Amino acid sequence: MSNIMKIFRSKRKASKKKRLSDESNDDDQNQTAAAGPSNRPASPPIFKLTVDCCDEIFDYWSTKDLHSFGQTCKAMQKVAGEYFKRNCAGAEKFTRDDGIYTYYYDHEGASNKQTLTSGFNRYITNISHYYDHGRGPLRYIESHSDELDSVNNLYLVCTRLNKEKAEYFRKILPKIENLAIHQCSAWCDMFNDILKLCENVTNLWIQDDLGDIISRKKNPWLLQNYPKLKRLHLGPRNVNEINELVSFFERNPNVDIFSTNYRCFWANRNQLMDSKAKLETLCVEDFHYDTIGNMHEICDLLKQLHEKGFYKRLHLNFREISQQLCDQIILVPGLERLHFKKFNKIYSVPQMVSLKELHLPSGLKANDIQIL
């Protein structure tokens, strides 16, 4: 990386000196040069590389090296920036007072390294905001929002959401398609101050909030219309019936994926049975060992929901496996995805005709998988 950049910079300096020398010639020489073949120096060889060649080189660099190279000139910023957008979209990006940083792996494979990548602001697709440590990061987002052309994912973590904070995000909220809220509290009108501004949101993910976004009493934001919303995830910390669920599905028939944890699913079984929603996919996550005792009841509920057309496809996520569980899930209709987080013992899983995806924890031996 460093050698290539040194060659590039030296050639740029040589080109600049050559142009200055040409400009110092007398008028007759300039006129002759204009009439005959161009005497302008050839551009550095690096500019002759195709985008594919550049991508091959970039594959060997860390995100820090890529960003440094992108700051050499506008042409290379665009080439490197497009590579960054395509290949680093999944890397988490967060703001500080002085800019946007990206987590990356270095050449030795060390993780969670951070580097400033504000030179790629136009190519950043996701931003995370953590905690409430001052207003510097928020001011940076507000003052550079015009540069954040590609941002469509916003991840808010452990922060107090209020009207003042929403103002810092006001210019980028209409661009957001995926909004994730994790362990946050709401000190504002969630719909009018935040969600209403996310007019293009297609995926709304709320997980383990502190109890006032998904409330025990009232959730007025669930009584609103979200024209482009396709997926809703509710993972509340407090297990309670959400009385607005029936109205939400009636007002938002465009929602075709609903995901939640098993405690919220079971607490809202009456709401789901009363709903006239027709989902493509239902996802129930985080089944735990204490669920196994009433797994028969849960499977019966799932069968009833499938029969009434509440869902077509089912995704289930279990913390661990048991033989009783294996015997029960074969009876659940529409099961296409099954995920186990932990195996204490290998059981015989019966044939499931509709299953398309099986996710297993790492560390299993080949003979264990063969038995499974």
| Rounded average pLDDT over 142-159 | 95
Residue 98 clears pLDDT 80, i.e. is over it: yes
Report residue 7's pLDDT band, with 50, 70 and 90 as the boundaries.
Answer: very low
Q: How high is the pLDDT of residue 11?
A: 43
In the block, which residue shows the tokens 């809220």? Answer: 181
Residue 3 clears pLDDT 70, i.e. is over it: no
Query: How many CA atoms lie less than 13 Å away from 116 in the CB half-sphere?
Result: 8
Closest CA to 67 of 49, 37, 93: 93
Do the beta carbons of residue 164 and residue 137 sit within 8 Å?
no
DSSP 347: -
Predicted confidence (pLDDT) per residue in 164-174, tens digit: 999 999 999 99
Closest CA to 156 of 318, 145, 172: 172
Closest CA to 67 of 113, 131, 127: 113
In the chain, what is the straight-line distance between the N-terminal and C-terminal CA atoms, in Å?
47
Report residue 9's pLDDT band, with 50, 70 and 90 as the boundaries.
Answer: very low
Q: What is the dihedral of CA 261, 242, 187, 256, to 10 degrees?
A: 60
DSSP string, 275-317: ----EEEEEEEEE-GGGGGGHHHHHHHHHHHHHTTSEEEEEEE
Report residue 278's pLDDT band, with 50, 70 and 90 as the boundaries.
Answer: very high
Supply the pTM of this predicted model: 0.82
Q: How high is the pLDDT of residue 293?
A: 60
Report residue 346's pLDDT band, with 50, 70 and 90 as the boundaries.
Answer: low
Do the beta carbons of residue 201 and residue 228 sit within 8 Å?
yes
User: For residue 184, how many other CB atoms are within 10 A of its CB?
Assistant: 21
